[in-house]
Structure 1
Amino acid sequence: MRFRGIPLWGWAAAAALYFGVAAAAVELAWDRSIDALAELGSHRLDLYAASLRSELGRYETMPLIVARQESVRALLSDVPDPPPGLLQTVNDYLDAVNREAASVAVDVIDLHGSVIAASNWNRPDSFVGTNVSYRPYFQDALSHGSGRFFGIGTNTGMPGLYFASAVREGGVAIGATAVKVSVDALESAWRTPGEAAMVIDGNGVIVISTVPAWKFMAVRPIAPEQQSQIQASRQYAGRSVELLPYRRLSDWGTSAWFARFPDWVHPGRERRYLAMSRAAPQAGDSIMVLLDVAGARHQQQIALAFVTGAFLIAGLYGLYAIQRRRAIAEKLKGQDALRSANERLEVTVARRTAALREANERMQQEIVERTRAEQLLRDSQQEVVHAGKLAVLGQMAAGLTHELNQPLVAIKTLCDNARTFFERNQPAPAIGNLERISRLVDSMAVLTAELKTFARKPDFERVAVSLGEAVTHAVLIYEARIRDEHVQLDVRIPAGTTICAEPSQLQQVIVNLLGNALDAVAEQEKRIIAIEARAPDPHGRVLFTVADSGAGIAPEVLAHLFEPFVTTKPRGHGLGLGLAISSRLVNGFGARISAVNPPEGGAQFSIEFAAAAPQGEANE
C-alpha cells in the first residue's frame, strides 16, 4: 500500500528515524543543560564559600584581641570585687569594639560561665548576669583556647554565630571572651531567583538559608542522643528540630544529584532541583545550593522543536521530488509549494542574518568597553602604587622631622655665633661657622632629594638599575629609625650588581621590605636585618634577599601574604597593601617575589631579578 505515492514501510522508516533523532537530541540537550547548570552550581558554591569566609572569618580573631586587653584580664582576675570604675571601663571598651566591628554583642565571661561585662550592658536585653556555661563555645574556649558555635540567643531569640577565646593569666584560664555575629546580611546577599542556598551545621541542621521557612530544619535524621546534646546546649533555643521533607532521586556525576524539595514559591507543591554541596570554610559545616532544572526542560523542548522542524523541511523536499513525476498540473502545484518553502527559508535566513549582525555589533561595543575598562584599571593601579608610596612617606614623617630639626637648630646656633664673631671683628671663626652651616644644608638637601625621588609618580620604562644604589637610598630614608632603634643592618651587595627595573618603583619595593623588616624586629631583643644579593647565575638571574630576626610569618598568613588587605599588623597600623603593591611592581619588572620562614628563625623575602649590563657598558 501507498500513501501519497510513498510505501507504508517508507513512512514507518521515517517515523522510526524521527523518533530516534528526536530522542537523541532531547537527551543531548538535557545533558548539556545539566552540565552547564552543574558548572553554574560549582561557581555558586565557590562564591558562597568565599563570601562566608570573608564575612565570618574576619570576626574569628576578635575574641583573642579582646582577651589580650589589660582591663579585661584585670576584671577577671579581681572577680567578684573589681576596683571601682574598672567594670564600667570594660563595658565601654566592649561597646566601642562592638560598634567598630558591626557585630551583635561582645561579652566577658568568668570561669563559672556568668557574663560579667557586655557591650549591651545598658540595654534591656543585656547579657550581663546570663550564665552560658552550658554553651559549647564557652566550654571549648576553656578546654582548647578557642570555640565556635552557631545557635539562637536565649535572651534575644536572634540566631547568630559565636566566636570565643580563653583569657589566660600565667598560662591558666581565668575566663573567656565571646563575640556574636549576625548572618542576616549574608542570607540577603545570597538570594537569587530560582535558586536556594543554605549552610548546614555538623548536626545536619540548616542554620543559614535563603528560604526562611527551611531554617533550623534537618536534612538528615537526628539520633536521640544527638537531640539530647542539642537540648542541653539550647543551641536552637529549645526549638524542636524537624526533618525537611525532600526526596533524593538520582546522582549526576560525582558532585551533584537530583532531588524533589518543597516549592517555596508555591507552598504545597514540589519541584525538581539539581543539588550540589561542599564543605564550608568552617570545620564541620557544609554549603548546599539548589538549582531549578526548568531551564533544562525548556532546552529539551527547543531541541525537540528543532528536530521536528528539520524533519518537516526534509519531508517537504521529499514530497516535492515525488510530485515532480506527476502530471503537469501536479508539477505546478509542487512548484508553488517549493516557492512557499523557499520564501519561508529566506525569511528565516534574513532573520538569523539580522540576529548575527546585531550580535556582532554588541560584540564590537563590548570590545570597546573592555578596552576602556582595562585602561582605567591600569590607571587605577598606578594611582594605588603612588598612594602607597605617599602612605609610606606619611609614616616616616616623625623620623624626618627629628632629622631636619637637629640641623635646623644647629644652623640657628651657628648663625647667632657667626653674627657675634663679626660684631667682635673675628672673621675667621665666623667663616668656620658658615662652612659648617653649608655642610648641614648639603646633608639636608641629600635627604630631601631622596624623598623627592621616592614620591615621584613612576613611569613604565625599565632600564639597567644599580641594586646597591637603590638599597643605599632606602637605607638613607630609614637611617634615623635604624639608629634610634639600635638595629644591626648587614648589607652585602656585590659591586656593580645591575638589574632590569624601573628606578623609582624598585626604590619603593626595597623601602617597603626594609620598613616591614624594621617593624618585625621592633619588639625583639635581637634586632638584625640582613640585605644580600648574589652574583648573576648562568641563567642571568640575580637573587636579592631581605631577612630579619623577627618572629616570622604565621603559616595561615604566609599563603595569602601578597594578596590585598592581608596584614599581620595591628588594626590602624596598616591596610595590607604594601606587599600587594610590591608584588605587582616586581611582576612588572619580569621578576618573582616570595617569602619563607627560615629554619634559623625570622622571615626572609626573596626577589629573583633579571640581570642587566652596567649602565657604563650599555652605553659603550
Structure 2
Amino acid sequence: MDPTRSPRHGGGRVWLAFALGAAILFGVGLIAAADIGRGRAIEATRLRAEDATTLAIAVLRGELEKQRALPAILARDPDVSAALTGGDRHALDLKFGAIAAETRTAVIYLLDAAGLTIAASNWDEPTSFVGNDYAFRDYYLTALQKGSAEQFALGTVSKRPGLYITARVADGDGKALGVIVVKAEFERVEADWGALGGTIYVADGRGVVLLSTEPDWRFRVERPLDEATQAEIRRSLQFGGAPLVPLPLGFDGELVHRSGAGRGANVRTQRAVATTGWTLDMLLPVGEAVRSEQSRLQSFVALALIVGLSGAALLLRRRQQADLRLQRAAEAKAELENRVAERTAALAGSNARLKAEIGERARAQERLADMREELAKANRLATLGQVTAGVAHEINQPLAALRTYAENARTFVGRREREQAESALGKVIGLTERIGHITDTLRGFARRGGRALEPVSLEEAIAGALMILDSALRQAAITPRIDAVSPRLQVMARHVELEQVLVNLLRNAVEAIETLPQRPGAPLVAIGVVEEPDRVIVTVADRGPGLDEAAVAALFTPFRSSKPRGLGLGLIICQDLVASFGGTLTAAGRPGEGCSFTITLRRAP
C-alpha cells in the first residue's frame, strides 16, 4: 500500500479540501438559487400584473363606451333642440335626471351657444349647474368647433373629478345651438380595480394622474412639468389648485420602488388605453414573492447539495477504506456495491420527486392558461352591457308565448285532450329552442364576436315569427294575410335576428289593432313579399289608427315611444339589425289608414 495515500499522511488534507469545496459549492448554489428565484418571482408577478392590467382596461373601456354613447344620442333628441330654441327647459331637467339615474351618470347638462347652463340633471341639488357659465372650458370650445370633445377635469362647482364628454347640438342647417355635456365619474371603476390587488393609476399624455386606487396620487405627475404646461393647466382650471407634484416612485432596472405608505419593490406594467390619450399603469408588490421563491429554491438546492455531498463524502471514505484494506478486497468490493445500490435508490427517489414537481408545474401552467382564457373572455364580456337591453327585449317575447302554450297544455292535460296538449307542448319545445338560439347568439358574441351573414329562408323566418305570436294573434282574433313565399327564396341575414325584427313589427301591428274601438274589415294585418333580381322587399302593414307625419318621423328617435311603458328602443334595435344585414327599414302611415313597415334585404345568390 502506498503510504502517501494513508490517512496518516494525506487524509486530513483531503478532508480539508473537501470541506472547503463543499462550502464554496454551497455558497455558489445558494447565490444562484436566490438569483433564479428572484427572476422567477418577478416574471410570475409580471404575468399576474399583465392579466390584471388587461382586466382593468376592460373595466375602464366598458364604462367609457357606455358614457360616450349618451351625448351623441341626446344631441339628436328633439326635446334638447326645443329647449335651446325657447322650449320647456324644466321638462328637460326632469328628463336628464331620469336618464342619469338609469345610466348611472354623474351629471347631464345642456349649454346654450354662449356657454350658459340652461338645463341639468342636478337642477334640484345645492351644487346645481343651472345658470353657471362654462364658456371657458375646453370641452365646450372644442365641441363647438369640431362637433365633440372629451376632457378630464376637476368640477368647479362640485369639486369632484370626472370626464366631460360633449357633443354639439345643431339645427337643420348645421348651425350650432349649444353643447350637450355628460360628466362621467369613475369611483366604481376605481373600487373594482382595488379588487385586483396592487396599485393602478391612469395618466394623460402629459403624465398627470387622472384616476388611481390611491386617492392621494390623483393629479400628481409621473415627471416634473415645465412652467408653460403648468401655467396652461392653472389657466384652464382643469385640475383646480392641485400641486402637480411627482409621484413617490423610483426606478431600479426592471423594478419600481415606492416610498412612503406602501413602500417596497413593485413590478410595473404599462399599457395605452385605446380610443384615449391615456396610459394605465399597474404596480404589483413583488418583495414577498421574491423572498418566498428564493427560500423555496434555496431549500431545494441545499437539500440536493447535502444529498450529493454526502454521497461524495461517502465515496471518498470508501476510497480511503479501500486503500487501507487491500487485503479485504472482496469484502470491500461487496460493501461498495451495496453502497452504490443504496445511492442508486436515493437517486431514484430524488428523480421521482423531481418528476412529481415537473408534473405539478405542468398542471400549474395549465391552470394559468385557463385563467388567461377566462380573463380574455371577461374583456369581451365587458361590452355585453351595450346589447343586453336589446337581447332581453327580444327574449321576453318568446317567453310570453311559451308561458301561454304551457298553460294551454296544462289545461288540455286536465281535459284529457291528448292531441291538443301534444300540439301545445310541441310549440313550447320550439320556443325553448328559439330562446336557446338567442342565448347561443349572445354567448357566441362573448366568445368570438358577431356571426357572419348567411342565406336565410324567408318562409321559415316568417313562420317562426308567426309561431311566437300565435297566441297573441288568436287572442286578438287576427288572421294575417300572407303573400305566398317560395321555399327556395333566401335572403342574406341571420335567422334569429330576422325573426326578432318580424316579431317586433307584427306585435306592434297587433297592439295598434287592439286600440281601435271598432275594427274595419279583414285583413287587419298583412305580410307582403316582392321578389326582385337582387333584393327582396317585405312589408308588414296594419289597419290600425295610423300616425301623422310628425309621429312617423319620430318612430326611429331614441327614447320616444307612444306606449305607456315603452323604452323607445324597439324600432331603433330593428333598424340597426336590418342595417347590419346590409338592408333598410322604413315606415309610412296616415291617420285612420294604419301603418306599414318596409324591409329591404339583399337576395342570397
Under TM normalisation by the shorter chain, which class is it? Answer: 0.5 to 0.7
Match of 1:302 among 278, 296, 300: 296
Q: Partner of 1:156: helix, strand, or coil?
A: coil
Q: Which moved further from structure 2: 317-326 or 60-69?
A: 317-326
Gaps of 5+ in 1: 251-256, 363-383, 401-446, 498-505, 520-526, 535-544, 550-567, 583-593, 609-620
Q: Hey, what's the Cα distance between the residues in 1 that align with 2:531 and 2:290?
A: 61
Cα 1:144–1:342 change in 2 (3 A) is same
Displacement after TM superposition at 1:49 (Å): 0.9
Match of 1:138 among 133, 137, 140: 140
The 5 Å alignment of 1:160-179 reads: 160-170=162-172, 171-179=174-182
Q: Which moved further from structure 2: 307-316 or 348-357?
A: 348-357
Cα 1:133–1:264 change in 2 (3 A) is same
The 5 Å alignment of 1:340-351 reads: none
Aligned to 1:280: 273
Cα 1:7–1:548 change in 2 (3 A) is farther
Aligned to 1:31: 39
The 5 Å alignment of 1:414-425 reads: none
Match of 2:314 among 298, 320, 325: 320
Aligned to 1:261: 258
The 5 Å alignment of 1:55-454 reads: 55-78=63-86, 86-170=88-172, 171-192=174-195, 195-250=198-253, 257-265=254-262, 271-294=264-287, 295-324=289-318, 391-393=396-398, 454=430
Q: Hey, what's the Cα distance between the residues in 1 that align with 2:166 and 2:181?
A: 4
Alpha-carbon deviations, 1:424-455, whole Å to 9, x = none?
xxxxxxxxxxxxxxxxxxxxxxx999976753
Q: Partner of 1:392: helix, strand, or coil?
A: helix
Q: Partner of 1:63: helix, strand, or coil?
A: helix
Q: Hey, what's the Cα distance between the residues in 2 that align with 1:606 and 1:190?
A: 49
Give the conservation status (yes or no) of the 8 Å contact 1:513–1:546. no
Displacement after TM superposition at 1:265 (Å): 2.8
Instruction: Tell me which amino acid in the other structure corresponds to 1:111.
Output: A
Give the conservation status (yes or no) of the 8 Å contact 1:231–1:238. yes
Q: Percent identity?
A: 24
Instruction: Tell me which amino acid in the other structure corresponds to 1:392.
Output: Q
Give the conservation status (yes or no) of the 8 Å contact 1:492–1:533. no
Displacement after TM superposition at 1:122 (Å): 1.9
Aligned to 2:54: 46
Cα 1:306–1:179 change in 2 (3 A) is same
The 5 Å alignment of 1:480-491 reads: none
Q: Partner of 1:185: helix, strand, or coil?
A: helix
Give the conservation status (yes or no) of the 8 Å contact 2:459–2:486. no
Q: Which moved further from structure 2: 278-287 or 67-76?
A: 67-76
Q: Partner of 2:93: helix, strand, or coil?
A: helix
Cα 1:248–1:533 change in 2 (3 A) is farther
Give the conservation status (yes or no) of the 8 Å contact 1:514–1:546. no
Instruction: Tell me which amino acid in the other structure corresponds to 2:240.
Output: A
Q: Hey, what's the Cα distance between the residues in 2 that align with 1:118 and 1:155?
A: 13
Cα 1:290–1:238 change in 2 (3 A) is same
Q: Which moved further from structure 2: 109-118 or 10-19?
A: 10-19
Instruction: Return the structure number with greater relative CO, CA threshold 8 A, min gap 6.
Output: 2
Q: Partner of 2:119: helix, strand, or coil?
A: strand
Displacement after TM superposition at 1:467 (Å): 4.8
Cα 1:20–1:197 change in 2 (3 A) is same
Q: Which moved further from structure 2: 15-24 or 134-143?
A: 15-24
Alpha-carbon deviations, 1:134-161, whole Å to 9, x = none?
2111112111111111111111211112
Aligned to 2:548: none
Q: Partner of 1:273: helix, strand, or coil?
A: strand
Aligned to 2:460: 470
Q: Hey, what's the Cα distance between the residues in 2 that align with 1:458 and 1:214?
A: 51
Give the conservation status (yes or no) of the 8 Å contact 2:583–2:602. no
Give the conservation status (yes or no) of the 8 Å contact 1:494–1:533. no
Q: Hey, what's the Cα distance between the residues in 2 that align with 1:10 and 1:532?
A: 96
Aligned to 1:411: none
Q: Hey, what's the Cα distance between the residues in 2 that align with 1:124 and 1:325?
A: 94
Instruction: Tell me which amino acid in the other structure corresponds to 1:512.
Output: Q
Instruction: Tell me which amino acid in the other structure corresponds to 1:184.
Output: E
Instruction: Tell me which amino acid in the other structure corresponds to 2:499.
Output: V
Cα 1:202–1:451 change in 2 (3 A) is same
Q: Hey, what's the Cα distance between the residues in 1 that align with 2:427 and 2:531?
A: 21
Q: Hey, what's the Cα distance between the residues in 1 that align with 2:265 and 2:531?
A: 63
How much is the aligned-residue C-alpha RMSD, in angstroms?
5.7
Cα 1:189–1:324 change in 2 (3 A) is same
Q: Partner of 1:45: helix, strand, or coil?
A: helix
Aligned to 1:433: none
Match of 1:572 among 567, 575, 583: 567
Q: Hey, what's the Cα distance between the residues in 2 that align with 1:386 and 1:218?
A: 43
Q: Hey, what's the Cα distance between the residues in 1 that align with 2:176 and 2:390?
A: 45
Displacement after TM superposition at 1:284 (Å): 0.7
Q: Hey, what's the Cα distance between the residues in 1 that align with 2:19 and 2:315?
A: 16
Cα 1:53–1:516 change in 2 (3 A) is farther
Give the conservation status (yes or no) of the 8 Å contact 1:493–1:533. no
Alpha-carbon deviations, 1:502-552, whole Å to 9, x = none?
xxxx97565136558999xxxxxxx99888999xxxxxxxxxx98999xxx
Q: Hey, what's the Cα distance between the residues in 2 that align with 1:9 and 1:606?
A: 90
Count of aligned pairs between the two proteins: 458
Q: Partner of 1:155: helix, strand, or coil?
A: coil
Give the conservation status (yes or no) of the 8 Å contact 2:504–2:570. no
Displacement after TM superposition at 1:115 (Å): 1.2
Cα 1:22–1:45 change in 2 (3 A) is same
Give the conservation status (yes or no) of the 8 Å contact 1:5–1:322. no
Give the conservation status (yes or no) of the 8 Å contact 2:111–2:118. yes
Q: Hey, what's the Cα distance between the residues in 2 that align with 1:200 and 1:489?
A: 61
